[in-house]
């Protein structure tokens, strides 16, 4: 009987040892799995934490942004994304078939490394929506007899036409004079005659940005709906991404009777009410830049 008790005791001790060993193995396995999950989660968080900055410059367009983002996304991917519809198109009144040009609010943004061109575009559009709502731009443009989208189109032209920030309101008022027929006695049909528009239309058709006098002359005569030298009224869409300051200036332009302006050889903007005054400004102050020398 004593032998039996000793045997049972030994068996019990062995079972306790085995159970302890198995329990230790189980616990170690659980700890290893938990540590593996922690490391995986840490890797995911580290990947998410890696960011890059994207700077949208006032006056930039889809072509210059495609170059800027070429190394990160590829220029063709950026231009494709610019043509895709977005959830905010209805807010801005973006017509079907138009790109997101003009709706990429100029700002410096930070994105995760995993961001796509669509992420950048939609983030910038949300910023523009916030700016529009905060400053009641829709109502302000309506007071100028413009829809929100038309106001953005006009602001995109002002952005490319103005060299001095102090001239924004004046140029916006001048372009509205042309657009709304108040310069008809001087220019005939209400054409804006804005040079940046025919260049944009030329590039939108797949041509490179003109850099020589001959190339500019070819673009000038290119029959694009964006060419406001040839066609009356606003172009079909924005030609650049205007800054907040330019949007506000265009929504609240100065009331003036000007119909013409030039940026003279010293970079100063000179305004004129009549064609005769405009031609005199060119002769007297724009001999180099305007080719009048």
User: Are residues 146 and 81 both part of a single domain?
Assistant: yes
- Asked whether residue 46 is assigned to any structural domain, the reply reads no
User: Are residues 158 and 281 both part of a single domain?
Assistant: no
User: Are residues 222 and 286 both part of a single domain?
Assistant: no
Q: 79 Cβ partners below 8 Å, 6+ apart? A: 62, 66
116-131 pLDDT tens trace? 999 999 999 999 999 9
The reported pLDDT for the residue numbered 201 is 95
Percent with pLDDT over 70 in the chain: 87
User: Are residues 206 and 196 both part of a single domain?
Assistant: yes
User: Are residues 184 and 268 both part of a single domain?
Assistant: no
Average pLDDT of the chain to the nearest whole number: 89
- Asked whether residue 291 is assigned to any structural domain, the reply reads yes
User: Are residues 192 and 269 both part of a single domain?
Assistant: no
User: Are residues 85 and 151 both part of a single domain?
Assistant: yes
The reported pLDDT for the residue numbered 276 is 94
Q: Which two tokens stand for residue 217?
A: 């002359």
Are 117 and 259 in contact by the 8 Å Cβ rule? The answer is no
User: Are residues 137 and 174 both part of a single domain?
Assistant: yes
The reported pLDDT for the residue numbered 14 is 72
Does pLDDT of 261 surpass 90? yes
CA proximity to 191, closest of 228, 222, 223? 228
- Asked whether residue 12 is assigned to any structural domain, the reply reads no
Window from 27-36, 210-219, 269-278 with minimum mean pLDDT: 27-36
DSSP state, residue 100: S
- Average pLDDT on 144-155 reads 98
The residue that leads in pLDDT, 17 or 76, is: 76
User: Are residues 289 and 235 both part of a single domain?
Assistant: no
The residue that leads in pLDDT, 50 or 153, is: 153
- Asked whether residue 21 is assigned to any structural domain, the reply reads no
User: Are residues 72 and 97 both part of a single domain?
Assistant: yes
The reported pLDDT for the residue numbered 40 is 66
183-194 pLDDT tens trace? 988 888 888 999
User: Are residues 247 and 271 both part of a single domain?
Assistant: no
Cα dist. 269→1, 156, 257 in Å?
A: 117, 18, 15
- pLDDT bin (cut points 50, 70, 90) of residue 60 is very high
- Asked whether residue 140 is assigned to any structural domain, the reply reads yes
17-36 pLDDT tens trace? 767 666 767 677 776 777 67
CA proximity to 266, closest of 280, 291, 284, 285? 285
Does pLDDT of 275 surpass 90? yes
User: Is the pTM here over 0.85, yes or no?
Assistant: no
> What region, left, alpha or beta, does residue 213 occupy, with left being phi > 0 and alpha being psi -120 to 50 degrees?
alpha
The reported pLDDT for the residue numbered 24 is 67
- Average pLDDT on 155-184 reads 94
User: Are residues 211 and 253 both part of a single domain?
Assistant: yes
- Asked whether residue 244 is assigned to any structural domain, the reply reads yes
Number of folded domains that form the chain:
2
Does pLDDT of 2 surpass 80? no
- Asked whether residue 44 is assigned to any structural domain, the reply reads no
- Asked whether residue 206 is assigned to any structural domain, the reply reads yes
Residue 210 lies in domain: 62-258
């Amino acid at each position: 009987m004593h032998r039996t008790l000793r045997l049972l005791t030994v068996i019990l001790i062995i079972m306790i040892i085995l159970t302890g060993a198995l329990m230790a193995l189980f616990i170690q396995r659980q700890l290893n799995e938990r540590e593996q999950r922690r490391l995986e989660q840490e890797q995911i968080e580290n990947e998410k934490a890696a960011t890059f900055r994207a700077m949208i410059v006032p006056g930039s367009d889809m072509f210059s942004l495609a170059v800027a983002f070429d190394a990160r996304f590829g220029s063709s991917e950026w231009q494709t994304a610019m043509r895709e519809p977005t959830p905010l198109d209805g807010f801005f009144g973006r017509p079907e078939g138009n790109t997101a040009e003009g709706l990429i609010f100029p700002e410096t943004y930070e994105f995760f490394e995993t961001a796509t061109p669509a992420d950048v575009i939609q983030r910038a559009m949300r910023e523009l929506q916030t700016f529009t709502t905060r400053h009641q731009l829709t109502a302000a443009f309506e007071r100028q007899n413009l829809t929100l989208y038309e106001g953005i189109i006009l602001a995109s032209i002002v952005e490319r036409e103005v060299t001095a920030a102090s001239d924004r309101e004046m140029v916006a008022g001048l372009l509205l004079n042309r657009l709304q027929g108040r310069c008809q006695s001087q220019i005939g049909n209400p054409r804006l005659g804005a040079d940046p528009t025919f260049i944009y239309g030329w590039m939108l058709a797949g041509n490179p940005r003109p850099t020589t006098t001959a190339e500019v002359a070819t673009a000038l005569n290119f029959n694009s709906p964006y060419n406001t030298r040839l066609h009356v009224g606003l172009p079909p869409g924005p030609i650049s991404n205007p800054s907040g300051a330019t949007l506000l200036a265009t929504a609240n332009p100065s009331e003036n009777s000007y119909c013409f302006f030039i940026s003279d050889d010293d970079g100063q903007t000179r305004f004129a009410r009549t064609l005769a005054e405009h031609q005199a400004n060119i002769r007297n102050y724009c001999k180099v830049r305007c080719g009048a020398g």
